[in-house]
């Protein structure tokens, strides 16, 4: 039997920890909380965890002289676009697939001439290397621990490393709105929302011009500025992605397993220095709020 005193002691030790990692019951997704500048434990979102892990792996490959231009990282169409910026910086390829790790695994199979470094998605899943070929919280937890341990050895916070990435590549913030529509009427409502989005595409979002619309159901990417269209070389999926003039991205995607339609939002802007992080972050938060209000979600 565990005494209350013992429980309280264990609880206090958790809150004194440098980091906390938890997985879901089948151990394929993980959540990571690290200390921020205020010495508070802050839960990273799935995109932030993916960025820290991918950058760590890229640095390791680079330091070992293993980057030759025949490597790639991967993510999904609703995850942060910042991963592409990181790939460009290190001279590796960034591939984007539909949601689901089976598509990342297929990339490994279809590109045997390329070495897969790592990749993930916004929903707290990550894949390290090519030996598991699915999201795996076991190897991902080991990687997260190593990241924090090496940061501690250099007497810095893993959180500082994340901010440095934002200074280097731009501050990206993502937000998800998930609307539940139950029953037959709900399914029809979700279907009609997607039909309306295709029939009456948005020309601006929060006052910012839409410059491109990617329709993964029609496998078509349309440039609204030039009027040109190009095919999307991915399997068909009921997803619509708006790209705006200022680099924001809004994706509409009905869930395949739940009575929900999801809106994935990504906004970004340059971060001139770490000292400006809180200020710029608040500006992007306000921008997300304005987008949510403009879309009437």
The domain ranges of the chain are 4-169, 171-294
Architecture of domain 4-169: 3-Layer(aba) Sandwich (3.40)
CA distance 262 to 131: 31
Architecture of domain 171-294: 2-Layer Sandwich (3.30)
CA distance 289 to 286: 5
Sign of CA dihedral 37, 156, 87, 269: positive
Q: For residue 251, what is the enclosing H or E element?
A: strand 249-254
What's residue 100's pLDDT?
92
The tens digit of pLDDT for each residue in 237-257 reads: 999 999 999 999 999 999 877
Going by the DSSP 8-state scheme, the letter that residue 276 receives in this structure is: G
Residues near 7 by beta carbon (within 8 Å), at least 6 away in sequence? none
- Measured in whole angstroms, how far is the alpha carbon of residue 164 from the centre of its chain? 17
The tens digit of pLDDT for each residue in 66-93 reads: 999 999 999 999 999 999 999 999 999 9
Sign of CA dihedral 153, 158, 163, 169: positive
SS3 for 189?
helix
* Weakly modelled stretches of the chain, pLDDT under 70: 1-15
Q: For residue 196, what is the enclosing H or E element?
A: helix 183-199
Task: State pTM to two decimals.
Answer: 0.92
What's residue 257's pLDDT?
77
What's residue 2's pLDDT?
39
């Amino acid at each position: 039997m565990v005494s209350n005193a013992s429980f309280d002691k264990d609880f206090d030790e958790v809150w004194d920890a440098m980091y906390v990692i938890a997985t879901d019951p089948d151990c394929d997704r993980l959540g990571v909380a690290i200390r921020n500048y205020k010495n508070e434990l802050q839960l990273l979102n799935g995109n932030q965890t993916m960025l820290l892990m991918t950058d760590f792996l890229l640095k390791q490959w680079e330091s070992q002289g293993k980057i030759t231009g025949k490597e790639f990282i991967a993510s999904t169409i609703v995850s942060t676009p910042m991963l592409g910026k990181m790939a460009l910086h290190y001279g590796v390829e960034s591939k984007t697939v539909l949601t689901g790790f089976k598509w990342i695994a297929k990339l490994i199979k279809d590109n045997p001439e390329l070495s897969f470094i790592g990749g993930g998605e916004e929903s707290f899943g990550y894949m390290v290397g090519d030996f598991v070929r699915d999201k795996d919280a076991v190897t991902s937890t080991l990687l997260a621990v190593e990241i924090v341990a090496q940061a501690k050895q250099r007497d810095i916070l893993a959180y500082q490393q994340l901010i440095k990435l934002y200074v280097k590549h731009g501050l990206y913030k993502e937000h998800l709105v998930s609307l539940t529509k139950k029953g037959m009427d709900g399914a029809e409502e979700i279907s009609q929302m997607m039909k309306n989005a295709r029939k009456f595409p948005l020309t601006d979002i929060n006052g910012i011009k839409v410059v491109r619309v990617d329709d993964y159901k029609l496998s078509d990417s349309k440039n609204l500025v030039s009027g040109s269209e190009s095919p999307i070389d991915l399997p068909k999926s009921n997803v619509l992605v708006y790209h705006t003039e200022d680099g924001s991205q809004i994706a509409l995607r009905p869930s395949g397993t739940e009575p929900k339609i999801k809106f994935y939002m990504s906004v970004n802007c340059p971060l001139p220095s770490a000292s400006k992080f809180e200020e710029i972050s608040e500006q992007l938060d306000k921008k997300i709020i304005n987008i949510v209000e403009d879309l009437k979600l």
